[in-house]
Structure 1
């Protein structure tokens, strides 16, 4: 039995659920935080979304069918929670995608946790300007070194669509970086 299978069984058993959930949180918290952080680019919002992710996981563990790994399942929840957050922000502001891009760029500029040289900041700005799906795919492939097969499960789309999104993202980033030099 794999560690994931054992953890899932413990999470689905009322007598071991609480301890198993503590293990789940300590095992995946940091990776999920940074995944969320790359989407919303704000520490406080990332913490809130991470908490919501684990609340949803706690409430939904009995429905987990183990068709994918537990990390893939958590990653999907975190991704959906992050996208929902951005969508709610867009609806509240009524400013559309430009408002979201302004929000992301402002977070990037004021982020005390992001340290990097000028080139790193330009790359992060180029990534922030990408459409949401391209930004997600780029971050997952480039920074997380995730395989397309895993991304397919998380984003529920085809490998071909993911490769196309990554390709378009790379081209846009290259164009942005060339225009900034």
Structure 2
């Protein structure tokens, strides 16, 4: 499918069709990638729209030395980090704490049948630094290989493995404080 999308977006007369295929192919995966980082559904929807607008405007810059989904994930990851950074700056008051806000949104967004262990895991993830959380989410939830994550984040495989290991350790310590 990726080859077909690239073929269509390369041709001027089929670019719109190719972009529609691209959105259909990747929108849900990108949404969940973003949602795990920003928690809030409305923020996630807005961010996904911004991501695909950015993808559209930068299609001509896509070099085929990376996979298309890797390139889109890189844009999405950077947008998530920028969004969280802006949010932290906007609320840089001693009373306000982004982790607390995201935890509240997490608690209010979980279905009443939400699994307690999953809730604990999500709370633990919110305690991680943003970049560790992204690495953990990509590896644990999206089952990406470290090589793919390295292409997306621009980080070495070794550094990613260390980051993932630290994230797992912090999560274990949060879930089992004994």
TM-score normalised per structure 2: 0.93
Matches for 1:93-108 after TM superposition, within 5 Å:
93-95=91-93, 99-108=97-106
Matches for 1:9-28 after TM superposition, within 5 Å:
9-28=7-26
Runs of 4+ aligned residues of structure 1 deviating over 3 Å after TM superposition are 112-115
Separation in structure 1 between the aligned mates of residue 169 and residue 64 of structure 2, nearest angstrom: 36
Cα deviation, residue 112, structure 1 = 4.4
Are 1:140 and 2:150 matched, yes or no? no
61-70 vs 98-107, which deviates more?
98-107
Are 1:56 and 2:54 matched, yes or no? yes
Cα deviation, residue 120, structure 1 = 1.2
Are 1:124 and 2:122 matched, yes or no? yes
Are 1:78 and 2:95 matched, yes or no? no
Separation in structure 2 between the aligned mates of residue 114 and residue 22 of structure 1, nearest angstrom: 35
Cα deviation, residue 10, structure 1 = 1.5
Separation in structure 2 between the aligned mates of residue 78 and residue 115 of structure 1, nearest angstrom: 30
> Is the contact made by 1:36 and 1:50 (CA closer than 8 Å) also made in structure 2?
yes
Are 1:170 and 2:168 matched, yes or no? yes
Q: How many residues align?
A: 177
Separation in structure 1 between the aligned mates of residue 78 and residue 112 of structure 2, nearest angstrom: 24
Separation in structure 2 between the aligned mates of residue 113 and residue 74 of structure 1, nearest angstrom: 30
Q: Secondary structure of 1:16's match?
A: helix
Separation in structure 2 between the aligned mates of residue 86 and residue 150 of structure 1, nearest angstrom: 23
After superposition, the Cα gap between the structure-2 partners of 1:171 and 1:110, relative to the gap in structure 1 and judged at 3 Å, is: same
Q: What corresponds to 1:149 in structure 2?
A: 147
Cα deviation, residue 57, structure 1 = 0.6
> Is the contact made by 1:108 and 1:114 (CA closer than 8 Å) also made in structure 2?
no
Separation in structure 2 between the aligned mates of residue 149 and residue 95 of structure 1, nearest angstrom: 38
Unaligned runs of 5+ residues in structure 2 are: none
Separation in structure 1 between the aligned mates of residue 87 and residue 18 of structure 2, nearest angstrom: 33
Q: Alignment RMSD, CA only?
A: 1.7
After superposition, the Cα gap between the structure-2 partners of 1:25 and 1:66, relative to the gap in structure 1 and judged at 3 Å, is: same
After superposition, the Cα gap between the structure-2 partners of 1:25 and 1:83, relative to the gap in structure 1 and judged at 3 Å, is: same
Cα deviation, residue 8, structure 1 = 1.6
